[in-house]
């Protein structure tokens, strides 16, 4: 295996911390498999390469023409930054679909956390890649389950787990099976008149997660004293908050933004399903970084408390800081979070005066007013 320095990779602009690194042993195993296969780069697709470790190690070894799909825009930006810093090229980014997979004989996959996302990826590979494609999926052993093998087996005739190495394991799927005429995603569910749509990688699928439900209920008492308010659903997921607000306030200008491409596609489908696609703008962005400062009268926020498989408050803290930047003086952010988290202190520090609106056994909803 070439002497690629994985330690030179950074996670930035994603959260960085001493206990968070930009690669793991799974990346190295996938790189070694690809190099041993001898398959040329223009027949290789990489999916779920969080910060570019797989792609850049292969490109550094002279494998060119690799096609890459990363769901998170933070991962896409980290890959680009790492490539620039290391002076590496020879790869191209694509959305999940035929452009990414057409003619691919080898697909390298960092296993996603959600089975639905794995199902969507496996279907896309079986549907669009070469007939003799091999999908090599890897993950940390402690996060792998037999259910993942079962999902792969619904789209591939042969699924072979490999021996674990350095606490990581590869699963090799080959002989793709016939796929149904229509892809399995997006899925749809109706909740009290609100239709949610979800692609595989969207958090909670087409369900309304408990925290979002608590904030939706609290929003029934929310009044915005501004005519044509500018509203941002920050980290919108499938777009439940943005859609519900737009339906209740037809005069509002609503932006729904998320760093996940799967979430953005889901939110776009949600807006179409509810007949409000012309009134809600959906964007792929990292913590609203491309939105102007002091542009929002109201921010709706249900921040995550996981970074991949790690429990970490950093992602939520970044969104709280983003909310403070995006709000006009006197504007409000309504936030829901797990009650054990210290987000109220962060909201008071970053935004301004913060009060509790609702508290359940698991969740707290707060209202924060942007200081002038």
Q: Which domain holds residue 241?
A: 187-369
Query: 105 with 149, same domain?
Result: yes
Query: 94 with 243, same domain?
Result: no
Residue 237 pLDDT: 96
In this predicted structure, the answer to whether residue 139 has a pLDDT above a threshold of 60 is yes
Residue 70 pLDDT: 98
Judge contact between 256 and 321, C-beta under 8 A: no
| Inside any domain, residue 287 | yes
Query: 74 with 218, same domain?
Result: no
In this predicted structure, the answer to whether residue 227 has a pLDDT above a threshold of 80 is no
Average pLDDT of the chain, as a whole number: 94
Lowest pLDDT segment from 31-45, 91-105, 335-349: 335-349
Q: The CATH number of the domain where 334 resides is what?
A: 3.40.50.150
| Inside any domain, residue 221 | yes
Query: 80 with 213, same domain?
Result: no
In this predicted structure, the answer to whether residue 309 has a pLDDT above a threshold of 70 is no
Reported confidence tier of residue 68, pLDDT bands at 50, 70, 90: very high
Query: 57 with 106, same domain?
Result: yes
Instruction: Express as a percent the part of the chain with pLDDT over 90.
Output: 89
Instruction: Express as a percent the part of the chain with pLDDT over 70.
Output: 97
Q: What is the mean pLDDT of residues 229-254?
A: 96
| Inside any domain, residue 330 | yes
Of 123, 150, 176, the residue that ends a domain is 176
Burial profile 280-297: b = 16 or more Cβ within 10 angstroms, e = fewer: bebbbbbbbbebeeebbb
Tokens representing residue 77 in the block: 């930006």
The Cα–Cα gap between 133 and 158 comes to 12
Reported confidence tier of residue 314, pLDDT bands at 50, 70, 90: low
Q: What is the mean pLDDT of residues 329-333?
A: 96
Residue 130 pLDDT: 98
Query: 157 with 202, same domain?
Result: no
Query: 167 with 316, same domain?
Result: no
Query: 148 with 253, same domain?
Result: no
Residue 311 pLDDT: 46
Reported confidence tier of residue 304, pLDDT bands at 50, 70, 90: confident
In this predicted structure, the answer to whether residue 344 has a pLDDT above a threshold of 50 is yes
Query: 25 with 152, same domain?
Result: yes
Residue 1 pLDDT: 54
In this predicted structure, the answer to whether residue 40 has a pLDDT above a threshold of 80 is yes
Residue 306 pLDDT: 47
φ and ψ at 123, to 5 degrees? Answer: -65, -45
Query: 151 with 16, same domain?
Result: yes
In this predicted structure, the answer to whether residue 169 has a pLDDT above a threshold of 50 is yes
Query: 228 with 267, same domain?
Result: yes
Residue 221 pLDDT: 80
In this predicted structure, the answer to whether residue 2 has a pLDDT above a threshold of 70 is no
- Which residues 6+ apart lie within 8 Å of 65 measured at CB? 40, 41, 42, 44, 90, 91, 92
Cα–Cα separations (whole angstroms), residue 225 to 136, 222, 281: 54, 10, 22
The Cα–Cα gap between 91 and 163 comes to 30
| Inside any domain, residue 1 | no
The Cα–Cα gap between 117 and 266 comes to 12
Q: What is the mean pLDDT of residues 272-301?
A: 97
The Cα–Cα gap between 173 and 175 comes to 7
Residue 305 pLDDT: 62
pLDDT in tens, 192-205: 999 999 999 999 99
| Inside any domain, residue 182 | no
Reported confidence tier of residue 15, pLDDT bands at 50, 70, 90: confident
Of 176, 202, 226, the residue that ends a domain is 176
| Inside any domain, residue 300 | yes
Reported confidence tier of residue 313, pLDDT bands at 50, 70, 90: low
Q: What is the mean pLDDT of residues 23-31?
A: 97
Q: What is the mean pLDDT of residues 24-30?
A: 97
Query: 30 with 109, same domain?
Result: yes
Residue 310 pLDDT: 47
**Number of domains the chain is built from:** 2
| Inside any domain, residue 288 | yes
- Which residues 6+ apart lie within 8 Å of 50 measured at CB? 22, 70, 72, 75, 78, 110, 308
Of 112, 147, 176, the residue that ends a domain is 176
| Inside any domain, residue 181 | no
């Amino acid at each position: 295996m070439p002497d690629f320095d994985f330690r030179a990779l950074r996670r930035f602009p994603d959260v960085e911390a001493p206990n968070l690194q930009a690669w793991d042993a799974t990346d190295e195993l996938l790189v070694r498999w690809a190099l041993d296969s001898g398959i040329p780069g223009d027949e290789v697709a990489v999916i779920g390469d969080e910060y570019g470790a797989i792609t850049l190690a292969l490109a550094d070894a002279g494998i060119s023409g690799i096609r890459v799909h990363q769901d998170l825009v933070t991962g896409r930006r980290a890959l680009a930054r790492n490539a620039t810093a290391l002076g590496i090229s020879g790869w191209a980014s694509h959305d999940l679909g035929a452009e990414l997979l057409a003619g691919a004989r080898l697909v390298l996959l960092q296993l996603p956390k959600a089975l639905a996302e794995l199902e969507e990826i496996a279907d896309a590979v079986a549907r669009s890649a070469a007939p003799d494609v091999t999908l090599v999926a890897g993950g940390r052993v402690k996060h792998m389950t037999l259910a993942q093998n079962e999902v792969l087996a619904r789209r591939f005739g042969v699924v072979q787990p490999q021996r674990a190495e350095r606490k990581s394991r590869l699963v090799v799927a080959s002989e793709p099976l016939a796929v149904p005429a229509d892809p399995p995603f997006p899925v749809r569910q109706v909740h009290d008149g609100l239709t949610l749509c979800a692609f595989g990688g969207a958090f909670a699928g087409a369900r309304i997660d408990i925290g979002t439900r608590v904030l939706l209920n609290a929003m029934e008492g929310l009044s915005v004293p501004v005519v044509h308010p500018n509203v941002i659903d920050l980290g919108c997921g499938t777009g439940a908050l943005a859609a519900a607000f737009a339906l209740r306030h037809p005069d509002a200008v609503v932006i729904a933004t998320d760093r996940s491409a799967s979430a953005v596609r889901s939110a776009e489908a949600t807006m179409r399903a509810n007949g409000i696609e012309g009134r809600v703008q959906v964007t792929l962005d990292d913590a609203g970084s491309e939105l102007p400062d002091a542009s929002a009268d109201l921010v709706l926020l249900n921040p995550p408390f996981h970074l991949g498989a790690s429990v970490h408050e950093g992602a939520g803290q970044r969104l709280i800081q983003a909310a403070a930047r995006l709000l006009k003086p006197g504007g409000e952010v309504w936030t829901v979070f797990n009650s054990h988290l210290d987000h109220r202190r962060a909201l008071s520090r970053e935004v301004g005066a913060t009060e509790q609106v609702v508290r359940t056994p698991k969740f707290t909803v707060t209202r924060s007013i942007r200081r002038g």
